[in-house]
Structure 1
């Protein structure tokens, strides 16, 4: 019996190796002969553009060549303006567009790969012009957009009263705006900042919040479905091997924001002061006020530009994280699928192994005596099952947290469940910061009407801040406590995060929710965490409160409206009686 089983296994392994070798050679033979034509925008830096020799270069160009290399086919990239590239895809001139933005309307006639990057869109205006905050304020205005671009389509749909002015390229759109023509430009953020710096267009700047993040990927007609499958597979390989991150760092990681020209501003200030002193010394006070205002506006511009570029970097990083989470789920799914089969196989083969052991007491498997293996293997399989389920839960929580949803998508949620999910995501940070962690959740399961991902974001931010405070504290007892409670009138829900860290001085407490204010600048803090959290809580009709004392700790409480009165179970039984 022992000799029969290995003989069958050897034959099966040989057959699989031979089949895999034939399949790989057949696939290599077909792909080696294929040349895929790619359409690209010649003026969309740093994603795709023509270098000084007129050759294609940029982030998406490097991604395309890397995919072609790893998948074993050749590409021919043609640079043109976006409208002709888009029309070339529809007419069959190009097999694929390498940097096309996804939309539901386009998806009706075009197949898209998984995204390789996210491009935020911004509203640009001339300096000194009235600033706007939202895209809705473009109604009745002349807005320059790239012809046939995703923003051209978006503007027509979102603001039908706006007057779109098509331009062939981003550079042409920015030059028109800088020359005083039309009112605004609606263009991609990073390419516009890149071009405005390169072309010396210092009289335009982004205004308001980023309009919309667009997923950039590969697009092809439905007849070329197999080509899109090749690019999607190649992109997944680049993510797993770290090659995409390497290309991202090359083109997008080191992009510097336009810097304020301090020397020029200093010269203007000096000349102004000298002239004012010669003409009338009494205007010195006015000159000082003017200088402060200039510095204030310069800081605001620099902070806004940093925020826009950081948003682009973090969004692209979110795409990479989502891809990694997806790849982790694949092997985890195989473990969860195969472990029950292994358990059943073990139970089925036990009688046979028992018979072998009865005939040969020295019988061993994998170097272990059979009695020990029989005792320990079920526990090993069970631990593997539990660990795989834990990996799946953590990845699912991470994907839920990273999944972007508009604030208006709200529904009834259990605050206790959000707290548990947030704790699972930051469990390592908690363990690293303290060994005195406690949690008290109201047994009445308080419900709120909320966007769960946004509230979970607030909880994670508060916990991480508390962990940072504990790690920098010299207190001997480092404690962290999280609790949820329903108010006495059952109209409000309280989420409390309390730590015994260094605390916050009284003069800094009122500024905690100010954008860009941070006491952890040297540790890489941006000063946006509590500002964003306070905005989320306010959007949910709640408020954020802080209590702190130096060297004793901090207590942060988020107060949110409950959606219904929740009675205590004993009180409910008394009411029913």
Structure 2
């Protein structure tokens, strides 16, 4: 019966997950996120043999965006180039940026996904340099613009700092005797020295603890939406194990250098059957012991086991008297101290109580109870996190915890379910009951001291081999099969189903009778309350409408304030950034780059000027008496076309104005702005595969003239055909302009008591249509 219920629950969960996944996919961006990766910063960012971006940070960014429903493409280049690409908006995110005070004004950062330390690389025969202080008066090479350069300049190191385009170049020059040292991230140094075959270089033994690098994803300053996506995605890939898998893949083999030890000392718990325990001869045995021996055979290793109390075993791993623990439960807190392999088992923990005591259904129901736990166990940690620390009684083993509970001490115990059943059966503790359901199911994995990536990588490799050959399943079945619940036959399932169904039928019949009685009472009261409810609903609708109107105004004001401040801040940041670039380029004497930097600065200044001009123009509509005059429609359309003739010629657009004798009365400048913005919009959003064609004219309807500007451009999705007339709403944020053009058109049209709308199927062009009733007052003969 339990399996039937579980199956139904799983099916329901599957459909819910599928629906959520479909919704997330539908809402994901239509276009990929653009990223840029360094070409030579192993193992974080590299170029593989296919010429593609690769490395730990690149794979991690792909995984983060994939889990959030986005694709990503990568540009590749040296660090100087990729950081400029983010500053100028050519890309949206960089996968590997160290968070430093110097970079805070330029970028927004995710939370750090990796923290590493730097090192000093010297020639093999150099013995005088062992610390940062020893670099005083020396010549030190670093990557231009890297964390290392910023760090050395921040601490004002009294040395000559030489910058290079890549770290490999710096290391080669050091090997050739051109510098005294290179300051670099440790793993990058290991990879590059090996790749370049620089046998006369070595790293100093102690890491530079002051040079701590917190690696993050970086976006342009102010791109809060993408930043939220990246932070959420990072949390998900860390939680689902993807991060650990990538970490093991890229960092595991590096420091090991493919060297394997002759003998590995593996520790574990001496009293947790059937997972691991000492048999009647005092020899280690159990599921974990046999699994470890099988992995060792796969890898050609010799292993010895040292099983003891859990606290002593954990302490032995910390002080490196053993190499590995084969049965540590994973938790984010423990990952701060240890390196973990992928899980090889999930262990169900249960609540154990004495007979006659109500069984808690979850951990929250243990509040106020005295709880027995094994010292240092994962449930010891969990109980303290829930605030039960003052009510805990600790025991050296789970067996001892159960023994004390059976003897009347405490209210309950938290132990692994299978070992609890084993000890209860062995000792005949018939007064103890184990909960049917698990309250926690932590994952059991191999654990090594922090930074022992190679050892974890070896055992992860062996575990994967066992699973591929089927030997893992055989070991699991041997030790755990006896504890798997037996399948119930059809008659047993039917019997249990009827025992549940019959009471439900009786309850349903009673509920129907009670419902009929209540329905009669409710019917009488409903008549009296209906009028009161209707009146109250009307009042609520009025209040809701007023609140909605106020909320919309507040939201529009907030959006307006945020967008204006952001759009002004962005070019200011660009100006500030390229002033720094310009100073460097002037010092380097790079005239071409100076010209490019000045171009970016002029562009930023033009963007601010354009935005402020558009805002000023928008604020004047309807607030300044601008006068009016009689004007021909043809004259207005031609004047508007002439104002955007440069864009028309550049895009090779064809503009056709249909003949019309219509005359209007209004302000010439304002009316020209309508057609000018609509023509400019049609040229700007042209279809990439055909030359723009724009048609301008007017139609006669029963309600009066309807003007139109039609194009063969990209079209506008029906979902956005109302939103495009709002302030700062742009379908393509990368397109030039401030997002105020259509909002200005709408404001002018409404000034003349008209309305504007757009017709498009989302693919084959757009037709903007609008009316201007106020321009025809007193001109009935012209409407004819």
TM-score by length of 1: 0.44
Q: Relative contact order, CA 8 A, sep 6+: which one is greater?
A: 1
TM-score by length of 2: 0.33
The structure in which a higher percent of residues are helix is 1
Choose 1 or 2 for highest CA Rg: 2
